[in-house]
Amino acid sequence: MERTAFTMKLKPGSEAEYKKRHDEIWPNLAQLLKSSGIIEYSIFLDEKTLMLFAVQKKADDNTADELAEQEIMRRWWDYMADIMEVNSDNSPVCIPLKEVFHME
């Protein structure tokens, strides 16, 4: 199993809307994430800095790197672009984090 973590950032005043949209995540998007091998996915918010901290657990044979090619993923990015920092293709600006400690 692979674990990854990354940060993203919300635009000011978007905290409630971000949570609402994720509470109502599209069922076909959730299914796509699962079928790509994402076993667990959590996102935490630092309310002071508006930084989002995401953690994913992925199957060894995951295809998560191919998600950007999927139309539903691109539509989700377009849907979220007004409330978070994004790249020119509306994908979220994600900064990968290096794991320095893990305990089970």
- Catalytic residue status for 102: no
Written as six digits, the tokens of 76 are 């989700």
- The single residue of 3, 19, 22, 34 carrying the catalytic annotation is 22
Query: H helices of 1-104, where?
Result: 15-23, 27-35, 71-80
Could you tell me if residue 80 is left (phi over 0), alpha (psi between -120 and 50 degrees) or otherwise beta? alpha
Q: Which sign, positive or negative, has the C-alpha torsion 62, 100, 22, 90?
A: negative
Active site residues: 22
